[in-house]
Amino acid sequence: MGIELASHILAGLLIGWLLDKWLGTEPVWLIVGTITGVVVGMTDFIRAALKAQKRITEQRPVIPSGTQADTIHGNKNLIPFLANEARFKLHRF
């Protein structure tokens, strides 16, 4: 995702630079191309992040209420379970 963001920015910068050289309007198209590359890159980055989050959320198993996994540390809700799961994933890397 990061490489795609950088490539969008570089593509906008390059196209803007080429247009400036061709039209003789030095910084105008370079700025427009760079801003366009940032906007398109961030839009694509956010879309990919949301899609990945949705895919992860859909793959998470549903834990029935009242099971042993649902009552971690004596709490009868799922929030402590998810907090422990997230902490485990962070320490795994």
> pTM of the entire structure?
0.60
Mean pLDDT value across the chain: 78
Lowest mean per-residue pLDDT among 29-43, 48-62, 69-83: 69-83
Q: Are residues 20 and 53 in the same domain?
A: yes
Number of independent structural domains in the chain: 2
Closest CA to 6 of 40, 32, 30: 40
Domain that holds residue 85: 63-93
Shared domain for 5 and 49, answered yes or no, is: yes
Q: Residue 12 above 90 pLDDT?
A: yes
pLDDT above 50 for 92: no
Dmax (CA) for the chain in angstroms is 71
46 and 18 within one domain: yes
- 44-54: average pLDDT: 90
